[in-house]
């Protein structure tokens, strides 16, 4: 009997348009919005992000990342029996980006659905896929984080528009006799809805309310640092492991200062932290699988390494997944 799920392939995709801080500062200056490369680097660690072309959707980015992950796993698309896309920027109100992706991959029949947990979306989706594999409901899952956050940014608000980017990351998660995913720890606290949200909605053929991202950055920062430590410790305890067992920490890539303080609390040197926020910005649900794939492809992460994946974001949601790669 299968008792575990294991990542057998990773993939990612960034849209080709790379926008440096200097590029963005120049674009914003034309609108009368003042920022600088120095401010963005010092406060966030971000140096560049990628923005998708206007006609490119989250499922397009997801399809590129999925094909790479399938190839890395040596799995044919037709053998996938579960698709979960973590996204807050789906192509349409419905159907899900996962169903649209399924058609783009040329397959049909397997369950496909989106998970909406904002920047924690990938750890939520991975936990759901792991649970479905453990119950026998699936054996080869595609789990993807895909976002086009550029669509929901207010380019007149310098406190948020400099932070986010577009991209997608994917993994193939397969049933296995050996671990694999060791433990996970997920949480939400809906009383913080207003701290990070896109309050608008569609009703009666119109957009009601503001469809652009709002964030109380300092409040998010404080909350993030505390809950990320708690989730990591809970995931370690569930697996009977300690800080010292972590080979690589792959936190949500929002701000280098949050990542540094999380690493410090977990007594991990920064050499053990995968950092891509400098090149990707915050890609919400895509940030963890993008960072994972870049570290796998650069040879940093090797088979057998123990990884701690951690997400935190709107909802408020947060969580961690501990796994042997
Ligand atoms: O993905 C979900 C998770 N999200 C996060 O983790 C985000 C968490 N929060 C953060 O990363 C940080 O709070 C920010 C990067 C958003 C902001 O950094 P901060 O160090 O908390 O800056 P602040 O909000 O305290 O602002 C400091 C100053 C303000 O000016 P005054 O009031 O001191 O004169 C801002 O108006 O920096 C100003 N400022 C800017 N200046 C230049 C804010 N944004 C900018 C900007 N360029 N883009």
Whether 156 sits among the annotated catalytic residues: the reply is no
**What would the pLDDT profile of 195-240 be if each residue is shown by its tens digit?**
999 999 999 999 999 999 999 999 999 999 999 999 999 999 999 9
Asked if the peptide bond before residue 135 counts as cis, ω within 30 degrees of 0, the response is: no
Tokens representing 35 are 């920022």
Residue 85 pLDDT more than 70?
Answer: yes
- Does the reported pTM lie above 0.85? yes
Tokens representing 264 are 């410090």
Q: For residue 191, what are the CA distances in angstroms to 163, 219, 286?
A: 24, 13, 25
Instruction: State whether residue 276 is helix, strand or coil.
Output: coil
Ordered domains of the chain (ranges, CATH): 4-176 (3.40.47.10), 181-324 (3.40.47.10)
Residue 6 pLDDT more than 90?
Answer: yes
Whether 280 sits among the annotated catalytic residues: the reply is no
**What would the pLDDT profile of 283-319 be if each residue is shown by its tens digit?**
999 999 999 999 999 999 999 999 999 999 999 999 9
Query: Using CA positions, which residue lies closest to atom 38 of ligand 1?
Result: 159
Q: Across-strand partners of 172?
A: 9, 142
Q: Answer for the pair 93, 291: CB distance below 8 angstroms, yes or no.
A: no
Q: Which atom of ligand 1 is nearest to the CA of 44?
A: 15
SS3 per residue for 211-254: CCCEECHHHHHHHHHHHHHHHHHHHHHHHCCCHHHCCEEEECCC
With bands split at pLDDT 50, 70 and 90, how would you rate the model's confidence at 82? very high
pLDDT score for 2: 61
Residues in contact with ligand 1 by the CB-under-6-Å rule are 35, 39, 43-44, 119, 158-159, 162, 196, 217-218, 220-221, 224, 254-255, 258, 282, 312-313
DSSP 91: S
Q: Which residue has the tokens 């652009």?
A: 212
pLDDT score for 322: 98
For residue 269, is it left (φ>0), alpha (ψ between -120 and 50) or beta?
A: beta
pLDDT score for 1: 58
Residue 24 pLDDT more than 80?
Answer: yes
Residue 3 pLDDT more than 90?
Answer: no
Query: Using CA positions, which residue lies closest to atom 23 of ligand 1?
Result: 218
**d(Cα 156, Cα 133) in Å, to the nearest integer?**
45
**d(Cα 288, Cα 322) in Å, to the nearest integer?**
13
Ligand 1: distance of its center to the CA of 123 in Å?
A: 26
**d(Cα 18, Cα 58) in Å, to the nearest integer?**
17
Residue in 221, 254, 290 to alter for ligand 1 test, most ligand atoms within 8 A of Cβ: 221
Work out the angle between the directed axes of helices 256-265 and 37-44 (0-180°, nearest 10). Answer: 20
**What would the pLDDT profile of 92-145 be if each residue is shown by its tens digit?**
999 999 999 999 999 999 999 999 999 999 999 999 999 999 999 999 999 999
For residue 303, is it left (φ>0), alpha (ψ between -120 and 50) or beta?
A: beta
Whether 197 sits among the annotated catalytic residues: the reply is no
**d(Cα 171, Cα 126) in Å, to the nearest integer?**
9
Mean pLDDT taken over the chain: 97
For range 141-157, the mean pLDDT: 98
């Amino acid at each position: 009997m299968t008792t575990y799920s294991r990542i057998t392939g990773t993939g990612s995709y960034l849209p080709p348009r790379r926008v440096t801080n200097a590029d963005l500062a120049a674009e914003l200056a034309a609108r009368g919005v003042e920022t600088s490369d120095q401010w963005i680097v010092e406060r966030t660690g971000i140096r560049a992000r990628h923005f998708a072309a206007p006609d490119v959707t989250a499922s397009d980015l997801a399809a590129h990342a999925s094909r790479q992950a399938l190839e890395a796993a040596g799995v044919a698309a037709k053998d996938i029996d579960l698709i979960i896309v973590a996204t807050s920027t789906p192509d349409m109100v419905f159907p899900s980006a996962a169903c649209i992706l399924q058609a783009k991959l040329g397959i049909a029949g397997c369950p496909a659905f989106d998970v909406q947990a904002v920047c924690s979306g990938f750890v939520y989706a991975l936990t759901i896929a792991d649970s479905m594999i453990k119950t026998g409901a699936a054996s080869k899952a595609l789990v993807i984080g895909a976002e086009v956050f550029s669509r929901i940014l207010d380019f007149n608000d310098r406190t948020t528009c400099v932070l986010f980017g577009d991209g997608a990351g994917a993994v193939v998660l397969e049933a296995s006799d050996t671990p694999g995913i060791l433990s996970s720890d997920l949480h939400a606290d809906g009383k913080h809805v207003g701290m990070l949200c896109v309050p608008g909605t569609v009703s009666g053929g119109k957009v009601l309310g503001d469809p652009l991202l709002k964030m109380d950055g300092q409040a998010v920062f404080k909350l993030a640092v505390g809950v990320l430590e708690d989730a990591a410790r809970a995931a370690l305890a569930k697996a009977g492991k300690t800080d010292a067992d972590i080979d690589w920490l792959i936190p949500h890539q929002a701000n280098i200062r949050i990542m540094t303080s999380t690493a410090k609390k977990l007594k991990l040197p920064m050499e053990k932290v995968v950092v891509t926020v400098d090149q990707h910005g915050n890609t919400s649900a895509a940030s963890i699988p993008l960072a994972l794939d870049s570290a796998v492809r650069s040879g940093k992460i090797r088979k057998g390494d123990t990884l701690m994946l951690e997400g935190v974001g709107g909802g408020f949601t947060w969580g961690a997944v501990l796994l042997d790669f």
